[in-house]
Homo-oligomer: A and B are copies of this chain.
């Protein structure tokens, strides 16, 4: 457990939106949204969630930690695949309920569990009144069946 504590968000908007203490606004489940981009070219890699411990561990270690909602526990991204994320910059938004991590990805330079660089490998568009997805990036940086074989 880390020693970093986050004060309650200010009710005063000019304090909340100014410089000073970082006061993440956790939702009813204790989470904030994390947007993750590549520090070099800005590509959107993934969207995840962080609880207070994940935010604190990320700040303290410089390596991205999230909270896995499906597994119900802290998730050090890349621990299995080797695609650890070194955090180059952290930003927050006006109401401090979202966090932006600019990262460098180690290992295969892949973030998606499908082996692709980004989780956002599909476009969405309308075709004959129906919303459809199309794959725009199908390059696999690793083979998920091998990398996650013991899962």
Contacts and interface: CB of A to CB of B under 8 A. Distances in A.
Nearest to A101: B124
> How many protomers of this protein does the assembly include?
2
Contacts of A131: 4, 6, 21-22, 55-56, 59
Q: Bin the interface of chain A by size.
A: 35 or more
B19 A132 contact: yes
A113 B16 CA distance: 13
Contacts of A123: 89-91
A120 B20 CA distance: 15
Given A4-B129, A131-B59, A124 B19 contact: no
A37 interface: yes
B21 A60 contact: no
A112 interface: yes
A133 B93 contact: no
Nearest to A44: B100
* Shortest beta-carbon contacts, A-B, top 3: A22-B131, A93-B119, A47-B98
